[in-house]
Structure 1
Amino acid sequence: ASVALAVLAIVLPVGSNFQKLIISGLLISVGGAVGKWYIRKVKQKEKDYPAFFRYISSNIGANIPLIQVIDSARETDFGSLNEAVEILYNKLKMRVKPKVAWWSFETELDSNLIRKINLIMTDTLATGGDIEKASKVIEEFHHIYTMVRRKRYSACSYHIGILIPLYVVMASLFGVIDGFFSALTLFLGKLESVVDFISVPSVEFMRIFFLFSLIVFALNNVFSLYNMEGDSRFTILFYLGIQLSLGGAFYLGITSMVTKYLSSVAYL
């Protein structure tokens, strides 16, 4: 929806191209921010899941029936999983097949990591396997996976700390160039009324090139961030919107300041 609104903001014949860039960037970043907020909730569930998994595997390993284990789990605080555990118990109490109940539990949590771990656990239970041995393998897998992901997130944060400021500097540099040529155009426009052979050059092509460059560099940056993080496409939306809005704002602001300054110097 935010992307559709951003496209609509670009198409509407209101304001300059860079003003449209700022508006579309803000709309895209709002959609990305909502998505990142949801992903943060999912990741919190992934952090709370190991405690729930250990609780389930240890009790089932002691030959306690599944419904009794889930019933007792309702009395334990598993943080963000509490609501999903309650739903799981209600389904088991209504004699829903365990496989279907677990599938509903995984859907409620909406995490690929939890879905993979839960699939191994439920298959082990369904086939009568050794849940204690399976749980050790699963915990080792979970530890390695989360450790690699933390390192990836750290590298991504460092990458963001470099790319965004560089992008803003680039947009500001474009603004300085535009401001210089805008002031020069105004100055030549004044001379044109006095000197016949002077013609005022157009700066529109230069501005279109700068606009195209800002969009291309923003896309390049967000795809490199996504390849490094690799978890959510909302990363693309959020940082694309942030870059477009910041780039457009700095471009227009610097252009206006440089144009006014050089124009005031020229007319002294």
Structure 2
Amino acid sequence: MASSQADNRLPTTITETIASLVDSYGKMHIPLERYLFFILLPSGVFFALSVVVAALVDLPLMIRLPIPLLGFLAMGTAVIYPKILLSQRRQQLNDRFHLMVTHMTVLATTKIDRMEVFRTLAREEEYGELANEMHRIVQLVDTWNQSLDDACRRRAKEVPSDAVSDFFDRLGYTLGAGQSLEDYLVGEQEQIIQNYSTVYEGTMDNLEVMKDLYLSMVLSMTFALVFAVVLPVLTGTNPTMTVSAVIVMYIFVQSGFYLAIRSMAPYDPLWFHPEKYPSPAQERIDKATYVGLGLCAVLAFVSIGGMFGLSPLTLEHVFFFMDDVPIPLHPVVPITPLLIPGIVVRQEEQRIKSRDDEFPSFIRALGATEGAKQSTTSKVLKSLRKKDFGPLTENLDHLYKRLNMRIEPEGAWRYFTADCRSYLIQTFSEMYLVGRSMGGSPKMLGELIAKNMSEVQQLRKQRQQATVQLVGLLYGITAASTFAFFIGLQVVNILSEMTLGLDSTANFDAGSLIHTEVYNIPLIEFLLVVIIMFGAMLSALMIRTVDGGHKLNTYIHFVLLAWIGAVISIMTKWLVTQFLAI
């Protein structure tokens, strides 16, 4: 009975998937005919050609197999690309939804016209796709003379996000019933935050599933790469070709998982990057970056120039205690100075996180005090700046001094957010500034902003835990896969040396049993080092994507993962030699 129910559900699921895919084709921003003839049809032709090439070329199966797989990947990507676009659009709507609703609530409390609220949000480029939706609602009202409630209900049927669709639908019904925009939005704050938390936590759960899949696939590809290194010693096939083919598949798998994680990770950046307002933090980061890249160039010249005799100083002089510098050290030594900007950025990130923790308390106190005393922000800051708000205290003192110097409030707050470098502080400070300038209640604004930011901070802690787990997983995979790669390589290397001994002492042809003459050991080791460096780079990018930090934060993990791979490879070769050498 249960089997029959499962069989009935399977066609339904397939039908729903196909229907969803077809529906995504109708929601593309380009005409359907153009996509079919210029994208989908050429990808199908490319797949057919890849199958023909794989069938005609005279190469081993392990080398021919990736050719049609590449064509199938191109065609499959073209088929599901509209679905991916729709998913990305849904993700963009969900990522900024809570900020947009908070901003809308702040504007609604200022008693301005409700259409002006929508027009203001439509001009906010930071909200991306949500700003576009607001612009479409404004167009329906201004150009097509529809009522605001009808426009909201119409857009509710078109947006791909369930949360946004439900919000527009209830908003249209409420406005049509005569309720004010302010009352509706204030009452919806709790529901909006709960929906955002549900979506955020669901994204974290999806990332957990992706981590398990990534672990399984990387271990499988590691197993295949070890076989590609070892099996040619028995079959006599060209190991360079087999290893290269598996490395290409390895790169495709890792790149695919990186893109998947990048599309799933919630948009919640830590940093704010102002263009017009410099800050001491940016100056420190720039100096550290210039120093790190300069040292990288010098060490690269020493490493590469020394190999070709162009540099008087070589890595042999640096590692004077070694008889021969191992190949894995040549790429990792030049990238080591990237730790300098990475460490500087990491220190700045810790300060930003500390400021974020203190900001809700500050903005709540600021709003409550301004509301009670009915005074200006500068007068309230005169007393608040003396309280301990951790790393935020210094920034508040600078804000007070700028306001006291008669700098216009907007410019003073811009410098404040530029010094803090926090995305959340910049966003919520902008909301508070706009709300106060339009006559909003400071106490209500302070409470509203503090509550929303505290909820976001709680979700960020879950994201930080997921990042720590991902770091442990990727570091462990790097060490285990490198260990497996170089065990296989060193076993083949030792067999090659043993075969030479057998040729000189025995009366049979050892080459008929063990085909070591097909191996170019230094070249294969170089290819393995390349895949280790590529894996370290993609792993560092995955960590940065999930963490949501600065781009330069990637450097720390890239260097550490590369060094782990280099050290494990050297130690593995030494251990295998000690245990197997005769």
Instruction: Tell me the alpha carbon deviations over residues 206-246 of structure 1, each in whole angstroms, 9 at most, x when there is no partner.
Output: 21221122122223322322332223223322211111011
* Matches of 2:384 and 2:521, distance apart in 1: 68
Match of 1:137 in 2: 448
1:24, 1:245 within 8 Å by CA — same for their partners in 2?
no
Task: Please identify the structure whose Cα radius of gyration is greater.
Answer: 2
Task: Give the 3-state SS of the residue equivalent to 1:77 in structure 2.
Answer: coil
Match of 1:122 in 2: 433
* Matches of 2:579 and 2:297, distance apart in 1: 34
Which deviates further from its counterpart, 197-206 or 36-45? 197-206
Q: Compute the displacement of 1:101 (Å).
A: 1.2
Pair 1:148-2:456 in alignment: no
Structure 1 residue corresponding to 2:480, chosen from 156, 159, 169: 169
Match of 1:245 in 2: 563
Match of 1:102 in 2: 413
Match of 1:59 in 2: 369
Match of 1:208 in 2: 526
* Matches of 1:16 and 1:3, distance apart in 2: 24
1:25, 1:242 within 8 Å by CA — same for their partners in 2?
no
Instruction: Tell me the alpha carbon deviations over residues 111-153 of structure 1, each in whole angstroms, 9 at most, x when there is no partner.
Output: 1110001101111121221222222321232123212211111
* Matches of 2:501 and 2:361, distance apart in 1: 75
Match of 1:44 in 2: 354
**Letter in structure 1 aligned against 2:498:** F
Which deviates further from its counterpart, 187-196 or 251-260? 187-196
2:367, 2:444 within 8 Å by CA — same for their partners in 1?
no
2:363, 2:449 within 8 Å by CA — same for their partners in 1?
no
Query: Cα gap change, 1:190/1:25 in structure 2, threshold over 3 Å: closer, same or farther?
Result: farther
**Letter in structure 1 aligned against 2:572:** I
* Matches of 2:570 and 2:297, distance apart in 1: 20
Q: Compute the displacement of 1:262 (Å).
A: 2.0
* Matches of 1:192 and 1:5, distance apart in 2: 49
**Letter in structure 2 aligned against 1:70:** L
Query: Cα gap change, 1:71/1:98 in structure 2, threshold over 3 Å: closer, same or farther?
Result: same
Instruction: Tell me the alpha carbon deviations over residues 39-63 of structure 1, each in whole angstroms, 9 at most, x when there is no partner.
Output: 1111111111122111211111121
Structure 1: state its 5+ residue gaps: none
Match of 2:553 in 1: 235
Task: Give the 3-state SS of the residue equivalent to 1:145 in structure 2.
Answer: helix
Task: Give the 3-state SS of the residue equivalent to 1:17 in structure 2.
Answer: coil
Query: Cα gap change, 1:190/1:173 in structure 2, threshold over 3 Å: closer, same or farther?
Result: same
Match of 2:541 in 1: 223
* Matches of 2:525 and 2:543, distance apart in 1: 27
TM-score normalised by the chain length of structure 2: 0.42
1:25, 1:243 within 8 Å by CA — same for their partners in 2?
no
1:226, 1:232 within 8 Å by CA — same for their partners in 2?
yes
Task: Give the 3-state SS of the residue equivalent to 2:387 in structure 1.
Answer: coil
Task: Give the 3-state SS of the residue equivalent to 1:231 in structure 2.
Answer: coil
2:370, 2:442 within 8 Å by CA — same for their partners in 1?
yes
* Matches of 2:559 and 2:350, distance apart in 1: 19
Pair 1:262-2:572 in alignment: no
Q: Compute the displacement of 1:7 (Å).
A: 5.7
* Matches of 1:3 and 1:177, distance apart in 2: 35
Match of 1:79 in 2: 390
Match of 1:68 in 2: 379
Query: Cα gap change, 1:6/1:171 in structure 2, threshold over 3 Å: closer, same or farther?
Result: farther
Query: Cα gap change, 1:168/1:6 in structure 2, threshold over 3 Å: closer, same or farther?
Result: farther
Instruction: Tell me the alpha carbon deviations over residues 176-229 of structure 1, each in whole angstroms, 9 at most, x when there is no partner.
Output: 122222323333445566689767542122212211221222233223223322
Structure 2: state its 5+ residue gaps: 1-288, 308-314, 316-324
Q: Compute the displacement of 1:8 (Å).
A: 5.0
* Matches of 2:335 and 2:575, distance apart in 1: 22
Match of 2:193 in 1: none
Which deviates further from its counterpart, 126-135 or 116-125? 126-135
Query: Cα gap change, 1:163/1:252 in structure 2, threshold over 3 Å: closer, same or farther?
Result: same
User: Across the two proteins, how many residue pairs are aligned to each other?
Assistant: 264
Which deviates further from its counterpart, 2-11 or 109-118? 2-11
1:22, 1:245 within 8 Å by CA — same for their partners in 2?
yes
Q: Compute the displacement of 1:109 (Å).
A: 0.9
**Letter in structure 2 aligned against 1:125:** R
1:21, 1:248 within 8 Å by CA — same for their partners in 2?
no
Query: Cα gap change, 1:223/1:252 in structure 2, threshold over 3 Å: closer, same or farther?
Result: same
* Matches of 2:499 and 2:543, distance apart in 1: 44
Higher relative contact order (CA 8 A, sep 6+): 1
* Matches of 1:56 and 1:219, distance apart in 2: 44
**Letter in structure 2 aligned against 1:100:** G
TM-score normalised by the chain length of structure 1: 0.88
